[in-house]
Structure 1
Amino acid sequence: MRTTKTIAILAMPGVQLLDVSGPLDVFAEANVQARTEAYRLRVIASQPGAIRSSSGVRLMPDAVIGEDMGDEPIHTLLVAGTPHAATAATNLDVTAWLRKLTPKARRFGSVCSGAFVLAQAGLLNGRRVTTHWAVADQLAQSFPAVQVDADAIHVRDGRLRTAAGVTAGLDLSLALVEEDLGREIAMKVAAQLVMLFKRPGGQMQFSRKGEAAPTGRSALQEVQRWIAANPAEDHSVAHLAGRMSLSPRHFARLFTQEVGATPAAWVEGIRVSTARRLLEAGDAAPKQVAAQCGFADADTLRRAFQRQVGITPAEYRKRYAHAVG
Structure 2
Amino acid sequence: MPRGLLRVAILAVPGVQLLDVSGPLDVFAEANVQAGRPVYELCVLGTRPGAIRSSSGARLMPDEIVGESPNLKIDTLLVAGAPNAANVPADGQVVDWLRSATPSMRRYGSVCSGAFFLAQAGLLDGKRATTHWAVAERLAREFPAMSVDADALHIRDGRLWTAAGVTAGLDLALALVEEDLGREVAMRVAGQLVMFFKRPGGQMQFSRKGEAAPVGRSALQEVQRWVAANPAEDHSVASLAQRTGLSSRHFARLFRQEVGMTPGDWVEEARVTAAREMLESGDAAPKQVAGRCGFADVDTLRRAFVRRVGVTPAEYRKRYAREDMKVAIP
Q: TM-score, normalised by structure 2?
A: 0.93
Instruction: List alignment gaps of at least 5 residues for structure 1.
Output: none
Fraction of identical pairs, as percent? 73
Describe the shift of the 1:141–1:213 C-alpha distance in structure 2 as closer, same or farther (beyond 3 A).
farther
| Deviating more after overlay: 253-262 vs 80-89 | 253-262
Give 2:206's aligned residue: 206
Give 1:92's aligned residue: 92
* CA displacement at 1:307 relative to structure 2: 1.3
Determine if the alignment matches structure 1 residue 237 to structure 2 residue 210: no
Give 2:67's aligned residue: 66
Question: Which one-letter code corresponds to 1:263 in the other structure?
Answer: P
Check the 8 A contact 2:212/2:273 in 1, yes or no.
no
Alpha-carbon separation, structure 2, partners of 1:292 and 1:116: 42
Determine if the alignment matches structure 1 residue 105 to structure 2 residue 110: no
Alpha-carbon separation, structure 1, partners of 2:67 and 2:285: 58
Alpha-carbon separation, structure 2, partners of 1:252 and 1:62: 59
Alpha-carbon separation, structure 2, partners of 1:212 and 1:16: 29
Deviations 1:265-292 (A, max 9, x none): 1111111111111111001111111111
Alpha-carbon separation, structure 1, partners of 2:189 and 2:148: 29
- Aligned length in residues: 324
Alpha-carbon separation, structure 1, partners of 2:218 and 2:237: 18
Give 2:150's aligned residue: 150
| Deviating more after overlay: 168-177 vs 215-224 | 215-224
Q: TM-score, normalised by structure 1?
A: 0.94
- SS in structure 2 at match of 1:113: helix
Matches within 5 A, 1:170-249: 170-209=170-209, 211-249=211-249
Give 2:271's aligned residue: 271
Give 1:120's aligned residue: 120
Check the 8 A contact 1:280/1:324 in 2, yes or no.
no
Alpha-carbon separation, structure 2, partners of 1:323 and 1:89: 44
Alpha-carbon separation, structure 1, partners of 2:82 and 2:191: 28
Describe the shift of the 1:299–1:212 C-alpha distance in structure 2 as closer, same or farther (beyond 3 A).
closer
* CA displacement at 1:296 relative to structure 2: 0.7
Q: CA RMSD for the aligned pairs?
A: 1.8
Instruction: List alignment gaps of at least 5 residues for structure 2.
Output: 326-330
Give 2:3's aligned residue: 2
- SS in structure 1 at match of 2:43: strand
* CA displacement at 1:10 relative to structure 2: 0.4
Check the 8 A contact 1:281/1:324 in 2, yes or no.
no
Give 2:80's aligned residue: 80
Runs of 4+ in 1 over 3 A off after TM superposition: none
